[in-house]
């Protein structure tokens, strides 16, 4: 049994804690927040093998430059004279190549399918009650052009063995008879499931504490001591630890801590927003609005609308124009859904850690023997929480991993 310190209490950190505990280790989780908000709580709740294409895809940087001057664009990359940001931008641009995407697709499918199935396994094994519905995911398109583009993703998904198909606007309307739809059609990914994130996070925290995992919230790691390539000291603003293994799963804050270990982990915070309503919407299937880049999820007792990828440093400022853009996008596809001023005023945000190629960092850096890094999941953090936790446990236990992790290596070049 090893004493494992997990830095970060979001979905990735708690999943790592879960699997390390199940493997017989003593686990302490440290998080600087109250562990009741942020990306792990405000996301769309998708378990989405359909998300085969990493964020760094051909054309994304070009589109980002076009959107740079719009305060309502779904993707916003704030230009700034910051060395780490400039290095990340260069690497991101270099990653937006078809050959890199083609190599990533089967790996992203595999880790997402694993994550989806592990959510089901955890629910069954621990008797959790969180919402987990197997209703698939629609990509709704306003235009025929976008419908054709999304059709190519259906072809890719089918080639990867996922169940996906095209649907007419009339067919989708029949499936959601109480919703007022204004679309050209859509694609459907039967392979996807959805959840209410706050429910799972609450049950997982309760389980971990009852199982003996120590969770230290509102405590910040301020320094890491290293001797002969091993982390020998984890110092917080309240105490210090001498760990056997350290898991760095601090999301968008991981880069600052990794630099204390002389590890230059290229990472940027990608802010996302959510609005939600308890009013009836008629939206009974998870749906992404293809042109507007807004995700809609019928959660347990409310409907959530999530969107934007705002790469503008670490901050929790709410840009009201982006919130308004989400609301306008929803009404454009669902004319009967009119989000209230109060609902928009209560919008929340979360920071997603984004690597230059849009793929997670999972593994050990050559610079530190007892450190395992788990971050950089971009918009896939919720989908990949349990699969990342399982892989981290396998790395630390030095057993054969559940899948090939070469493309996730923290020391990879861009």
pLDDT band at residue 384 under the 50/70/90 scheme: very high
Q: CA 270, CA 252: separation in Å to the nearest integer?
A: 8
Q: Is residue 39 over pLDDT 90?
A: yes
Q: Is residue 70 over pLDDT 90?
A: no
- pTM score, whole prediction: 0.97
Q: What pLDDT was estimated at residue 266?
A: 97
pLDDT band at residue 367 under the 50/70/90 scheme: very high
Q: Is residue 71 over pLDDT 80?
A: no
Fold of 3-408: FAD/NAD(P)-binding domain (3.50.50)
Q: CA 205, CA 175: separation in Å to the nearest integer?
A: 36
Q: Is residue 268 over pLDDT 80?
A: yes
CB atoms within 10 A of CB 65: 12
Q: Is residue 80 over pLDDT 90?
A: no
Q: What pLDDT was estimated at residue 387?
A: 98
Q: What pLDDT was estimated at residue 83?
A: 92
Q: Is residue 69 over pLDDT 80?
A: no
Strands 302-311, 75-77: pairing kind: parallel
Cα 135-46-4 angle, rounded to 5 deg: 135
Q: CA 54, CA 241: separation in Å to the nearest integer?
A: 37
Supply the mean pLDDT for the chain.
96
pLDDT band at residue 64 under the 50/70/90 scheme: confident
Residue whose C-alpha is closest to residue 232's, from 220, 222, 219, 245: 245
Q: CA 291, CA 68: separation in Å to the nearest integer?
A: 17
387 CB-near residues (< 8 Å, 6+ apart): 111, 112, 114, 115, 118, 402
Q: Is residue 385 over pLDDT 80?
A: yes
Q: Where are the domains of the chain?
A: 3-408
Per-residue pLDDT of 272-329, as tens digits, reads 999 999 999 999 999 999 999 999 999 999 999 999 999 989 999 999 999 999 999 9
Contact 143, 291 (CB under 8 A): yes
Residue whose C-alpha is closest to residue 43's, from 305, 289, 244: 305
Q: Is residue 361 over pLDDT 90?
A: yes
Contact 322, 337 (CB under 8 A): no
320 CB-near residues (< 8 Å, 6+ apart): 344
Residue 278 to residues 71, 94, 298, 300, 305: CA-CA distances in angstroms? 27, 43, 10, 10, 12
Q: What pLDDT was estimated at residue 72?
A: 81
Q: CA 84, CA 88: separation in Å to the nearest integer?
A: 6
Average pLDDT over residues 82-108: 94
Residues in the chain: 414
Q: What pLDDT was estimated at residue 297?
A: 98
Q: Is residue 396 over pLDDT 80?
A: yes
Q: CA 10, CA 251: separation in Å to the nearest integer?
A: 8
Q: CA 334, CA 284: separation in Å to the nearest integer?
A: 12
pLDDT band at residue 199 under the 50/70/90 scheme: very high
pLDDT band at residue 31 under the 50/70/90 scheme: very high
H-type alpha helices, 82-196: 83-95, 98-126, 144-159, 169-175
Per-residue pLDDT of 117-162, as tens digits, reads 999 999 999 999 999 999 999 999 999 999 999 999 999 999 999 9
């Amino acid at each position: 049994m090893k004493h494992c310190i997990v830095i970060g209490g979001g979905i990735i950190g708690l999943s790592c804690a879960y699997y390390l505990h199940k493997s017989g280790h003593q686990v302490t989780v440290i998080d600087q927040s109250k562990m009741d908000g942020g990306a792990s709580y405000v996301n769309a709740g998708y378990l989405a093998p359909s998300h085969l294409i990493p964020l760094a895809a051909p054309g994304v940087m070009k589109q980002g430059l076009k959107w740079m001057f719009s305060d309502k664009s779904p993707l916003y990359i704030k230009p700034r004279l910051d060395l780490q940001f400039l290095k990340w931008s260069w690497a991101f641009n270099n990653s937006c190549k078809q050959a890199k995407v083609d190599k990533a697709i089967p790996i992203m499918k595999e880790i997402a399918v694993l994550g989806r199935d592990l959510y089901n396994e955890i629910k069954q094994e621990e008797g959790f009650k969180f919402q987990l519905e197997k209703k698939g995911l629609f990509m709704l398109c306003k235009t025929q052009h976008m419908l054709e583009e999304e059709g190519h993703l259906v072809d890719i998904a089918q080639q990867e063995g996922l169940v996906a198909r095209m649907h007419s606007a009339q067919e989708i309307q029949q499936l959601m008879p109480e919703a007022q739809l204004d679309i050209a059609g859509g694609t459907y990914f039967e392979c996807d499931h959805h959840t209410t994130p706050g429910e799972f996070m609450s049950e997982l925290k309760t389980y971990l504490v009852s199982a003996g995992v120590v969770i230290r919230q509102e405590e910040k790691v301020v320094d890491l001591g290293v001797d002969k390539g091993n982390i020998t000291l984890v110092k917080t603003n309240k105490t210090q630890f001498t760990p056997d293994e350290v898991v760095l799963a601090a999301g968008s804050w991981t880069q600052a801590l990794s630099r204390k270990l002389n590890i230059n982990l290229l990472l940027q915070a990608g802010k996302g927003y959510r609005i939600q309503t308890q009013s009836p919407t008629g939206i009974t299937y998870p749906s992404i609005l293809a042109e507007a880049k807004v995700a809609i999820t019928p959660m347990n007792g409310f409907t959530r609308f999530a969107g934007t990828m705002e790469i503008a440093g670490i901050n929790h400022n709410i840009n009201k124009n982006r919130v308004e853009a989400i609301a306008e996008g929803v009404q454009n596809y669902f004319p009967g859904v009119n989000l209230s001023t109060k609902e928009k005023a209560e919008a929340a945000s979360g920071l997603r850690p984004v690597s230059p190629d849009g793929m997670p960092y999972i593994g050990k850096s050559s610079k530190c023997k007892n450190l395992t890094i788990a971050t950089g999941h971009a918009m896939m953090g919720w989908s990949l929480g349990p699969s990342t936790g399982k892989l981290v446990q396998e790395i630390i236990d030095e057993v054969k991993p559940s899948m090939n992790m070469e493309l996730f290596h923290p020391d990879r070049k861009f």
